[in-house]
C-alpha cells in the first residue's frame, strides 16, 4: 500500500466515525497525526523524489523571510519556490523546498524551523508536498 492509499484509507475511516464534524483545530491535529503515521510507515522512497512545503503565518515584522531562509541555507536545503504576502499587517509565506541534500533529517529540520518560528513569534508548519496535497484533497 503506498502513502496516498494509506492516508486516504485512514482519513476515510476516521471521518466516517466522526459526527458531527469536528472543529477545525481537531481536523488539523488529525491531519498532523496522519502525516506522522505515513512518514513513519515502512514505505521507502527515494528522498530526491520528495519536496516539502514550509508555511509561516503571523504578524508581520522585518526579517521573517531572512530568518527561515537562513535556517534552510545553514542546513543545505534548496528553496524551489516561494510566495509571501502581507494583508493588514498579517504575514503569510509558503516555500516549496527540496530537503534532498539537507545536513539533517526531516524531523530535525522541522524542529529547527519550529524553534525559529517561536523566536520570530510566528506559526510554522512543515510537511511533505505530496502528503499535503492528498490530505487537503480529503
pLDDT digits (tens, 9 = 90+) for 1-47: 555 566 566 666 776 677 776 666 665 666 667 766 766 654 444 44
- How far are the Cα atoms of 2, 48, 80, 128, 133 from residue 8, in angstroms, in the given order? 10, 23, 27, 15, 11
Q: Is 59 helix (H, G, I), strand (E, B) or coil?
A: strand
What domains appear along the chain, each with residue ranges and CATH number?
3-45 (no CATH), 47-129 (3.30.70.260)
Question: For residue 114, is pLDDT > 90?
Answer: yes
pLDDT at residue number 130:
77
- How far are the Cα atoms of 11, 13, 68, 122 from residue 54, in angstroms, in the given order? 22, 28, 9, 12
CA angle 1, 138, 109 (to 5 degrees): 70
The proportion of the chain whose per-residue pLDDT surpasses 90, expressed as a percent, equals 56
End-to-end Cα spacing for the chain: 18
Question: For residue 92, is pLDDT > 80?
Answer: yes
Report the chain's mean pLDDT, rounded to a whole number: 82
- Which among 7, 11, 8, 39 has a CA at the least distance from the CA of 27? 11
72 neighbors 79 (Cβ within 8 angstroms): yes
pTM for the full model? 0.64
Q: Which helix (H) or strand (E) holds 107?
A: helix 106-120
Amino acid at each position: 500500500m503506498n502513502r496516498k492509499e494509506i492516508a486516504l484509507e485512514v482519513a476515510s475511516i476516521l471521518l466516517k466515525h466522526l459526527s458531527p464534524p469536528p472543529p477545525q483545530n481537531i481536523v488539523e491535529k488529525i491531519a498532523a497525526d496522519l502525516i506522522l503515521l505515513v512518514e513513519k510507515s515502512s514505505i521507502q522512497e527515494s528522498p530526491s523524489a520528495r519536496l516539502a512545503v514550509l508555511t509561516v503565518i503571523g504578524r508581520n515584522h522585518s526579517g521573517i523571510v531572512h530568518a527561515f531562509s537562513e535556517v534552510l541555507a545553514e542546513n543545505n536545503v534548496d528553496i524551489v519556490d516561494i510566495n509571501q504576502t502581507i494583508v493588514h499587517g498579517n504575514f503569510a509565506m509558503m516555500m516549496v523546498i527540496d530537503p534532498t541534500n539537507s545536513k539533517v533529517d526531516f524531523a530535525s529540520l522541522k524542529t529547527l524551523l519550529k524553534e525559529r518560528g517561536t523566536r520570530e513569534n510566528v506559526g510554522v508548519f512543515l510537511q511533505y508536498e505530496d502528503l499535503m496535497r492528498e490530505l487537503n484533497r480529503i
